Amino acid sequence: MIVVIALGLLVMLACLAFQVLASVIAARYFARTSRQPFGAKPLRGIFVQFSILMLVLMIGNIVQVVFWALLYRLLGAFADFETAMYFSGVTFTSLGYGDVLLQGRMRLLGPLQAANGLMMFGVTTALFISVIQQVTAKWIAVQSGRT
C-alpha cells in the first residue's frame, strides 16, 4: 500500500513539474504578445492569443494524463495503453464513469490522480483567468483612449 501511494505521489510531483513548465511557456508567450498593440482586427488577435494559450495549457494536461496512463501500464493495471489512457483521462478530469476500474491496492491511485487533476486544472484555470483579466483591462484602456 505504501509503495503504491509513494508511486502516486511521485507521479503527482512529475505532473506538477510539467504543469509548471507548461504554465511558464504559456506565461512567456502571453508576456511577449501582450506588449504588442491589438492591431487592425483586435478580436481576431485576442482569439488567436487565447487559442494558443489554451492549447499550450491543454497539452500540458494531456501529457499529465499520459504520465498516469504510463504508471498504470507499468503496474499492469490495464492490458493495453488505450484502456490505461482512457481510465487516466476519465479520472484526471474527475468524470469517473466507472466502466473501467482499478483492482486491489492500485485502487488507491484513483483518488490521488483525481485530486491531482483537480489541482492541475485549477492552476490552468487560474492562469487562463489571469490572462483574460489582463486582456480585458488592456481592451478597456484602448477603448477609452488611455493607451
Domain ranges of the chain: 2-34+41-143
Q: What is the mean pLDDT of the chain?
A: 92
pLDDT at 84 over 60: yes
Q: Stretch 90-101: mean pLDDT, rounded?
A: 93
Please name the CATH architecture into which domain 2-34+41-143 falls: Orthogonal Bundle (1.10)
pLDDT at 147 over 60: no
Predicted structure pTM score: 0.88
87: cell is 481510465
pLDDT one-digit tens code per residue, 21-60: 999 999 999 899 888 888 888 889 899 999 999 999 999 9
Tell me, what's the pLDDT at 40?
84
Tell me, what's the pLDDT at 39?
81
Q: What is the 3-state secondary structure (H, E, C) of the chain?
A: CHHHHHHHHHHHHHHHHHHHHHHHHHHHHHHHHHCCCCCCCHHHHHHHHHHHHHHHHHHHHHHHHHHHHHHHHHCCCCCCHHHHHHHHHHHHCCCCCCCCCCCHHHHHHHHHHHHHHHHHHHHHHHHHHHHHHHHHHHHHHHHCCCC
Among all chains, which residue has been given the C-alpha cell 483525481?
Answer: 114
pLDDT band, residue 146 (cuts 50/70/90): low
**Directed axis angle between helix 109-143 and helix 2-34, to 10°?**
10
Q: Stretch 103-114: mean pLDDT, rounded?
A: 93
Whole-number Cα distances in Å, 36 to 76, 143, 144: 50, 16, 18
Q: Is the dihedral of CA 72, 78, 84, 88 positive or negative?
A: negative
